[in-house]
Structure 1
Amino acid sequence: MLRFVAGRDDLLNSRFALSPIVELESLLRKLYFRRGQLPAEWSARVRPAFERLRAETPLDAVLALQGAGYGPAFVVQPPSSMTQTIDDDLAALRATPLAQARHEIEECLGHRPATDERVLAILRDRAVTSILADAMAAAWQELVAPDWPALRAVLERDVVHRGGLLSSGGWSAAFAGLHKRLRWHDGVIELQRDLGGEYDLGGAGMLLVPSVYVWPKIAAYTEPPWPKTLVYPARGTGALWEPGAGTPPDALASLLGRTRARLLVALSDPASTTQLAQSLSLAPGAVGDHLAVLRNAGLVTRARSGRSVLYRRTPLGDALAGGAGG
């Protein structure tokens, strides 16, 4: 059992953030270990590039540090904000002190020793952080960058959903349903996992990072100097991976038109025009026009949230989408 003890200041300082490099590492783990669920169409699309990257770049040095329940945190550092970019992630990796990198490399190799001399030469190189950053940069461009707008839309919608729970019911509500192995009670966050221990958040709070590719698992950062972090599966991952998910039945499509019906079904959680356009592969202008029709019909409403305008279904919209199986 893994336990995080939280005080009042921890509740004030806990926050959400997004991480492009977490998505990349989680995908690499799925492709490398061939475990976990990855849609066949996605796997067929990215696996040839993955194998080519292994042959042409130092990617195997990154993969050699991966294992069940552990990995190199200096390669995949916790993000700092909701606006984190892959350039931010790679810059942090390159700036890692050599002593920290070597410490984590030795820990990872202690779990699963590497035998490939090419890999070992890279991991012993004084420029190891730059070499691994170059490998991750190449992997990002090939494997994740084309899908990042859609992935980011899913992650942002998850945070909007969790933020709504937080404002209405506090952190206990925000943690509810985060993962089946996670629970919050009496100021303690408990995660059922083989590697246990108890950690006091010490007023710094918990960093919560939604992820598509980590699904269906959950990951945690516990060791210094990294902030205590939970990487949890984002809501809506199944709909993203299954093209048929969220497709309205013919009756609803006949009533509203197929695109408007898709939008209504997709609004199971509040979303912006941009997020809907990215997740449904539609033009933002067309989405805006269809949302205006749905709003005039009393099926959706809109409200500003920070810099975004979020649309959500009305009770009538819920009834139509729910009755249609949405």
Structure 2
Amino acid sequence: MRFIEEVVVEEFLPTFRSMLAAELRERGLTQHEVAETLGISQSAVSKYAHGEINRREEVLSDERVADLVERIADGLTTGDMTSVQALVEAEVLVRRLEEGDLLARLHEQAMPELAEYDGYGRIHDPESALRTSEQVRSSVRRALRRLTNTSGFAGLIPNVGSNLVECLPEAATVDDVAGVPGRIFDVKGRATVPGDPEFGVSEHVASVLLSARDAGRDVRAAINICYDPEIVATLEAAGYDAVEFDPDAPTDPIRESLADREDLPETFVCYQTGGYGIEPITYVLGPDADAVVAAVKELLRG
């Protein structure tokens, strides 16, 4: 993992300083004067002068960088520009080059994983959709670790497999819901997660979650486990209200069953007892992945 600040320090700054040192030397300043002006050692100036540092061609060839170097060199030489103003001008350019520009491209080269995200500048925005989506994936990942490390969970996985999902705050489609690709299966008594959480990989459990949201429930996460009357009774005894729905209903069964339930707690249960070719399933829905996993763990206490 490399931060863009590392790119500035390690890739941009040495080239920028070497360019500025060369311009100051061309204007008649001695190595000692250049060192004092730039606040660096004379040995560093000597290395710049003798080409003993690696310089990035992308920085050298950027006209904006070259223009600023000349302006700063002129200003520092004539006294028209203070070192503080020179620093401010350089900082302004650096910030500009970080916003989807030269430094952003250098950062993407150093961190190829960033290339998949449109709008590179979003990684610097604390309110960005990118940050929110990564937080959702992290939430699912963290809850999965708690779940799969809990003894006995594999016994709650239905034949169709389980999935743990969490959605974005304004989720509208399954593409806004992160879950386990391929579902969680019981492999020889062990809950097996085939891959890292992704968006748009869960159709079934994601659809249940979205239906509950359509019914006005303020939920963002869900998990499906097997159905048994004792499972539902245990969850109800732990304080999780349970709502039965008909999987064969002609319209949206989840939304219909929740439409008139204004009294539900933030984490609750929906279940169906099966139908023709339909396996009975229990769903736990709540405000986040951690909350629904906490409910499932109630079944495994003792």
TM-score scaled by length of structure 1 = 0.29
Which structure has the higher relative contact order (CA within 8 Å, separation 6+)? 1
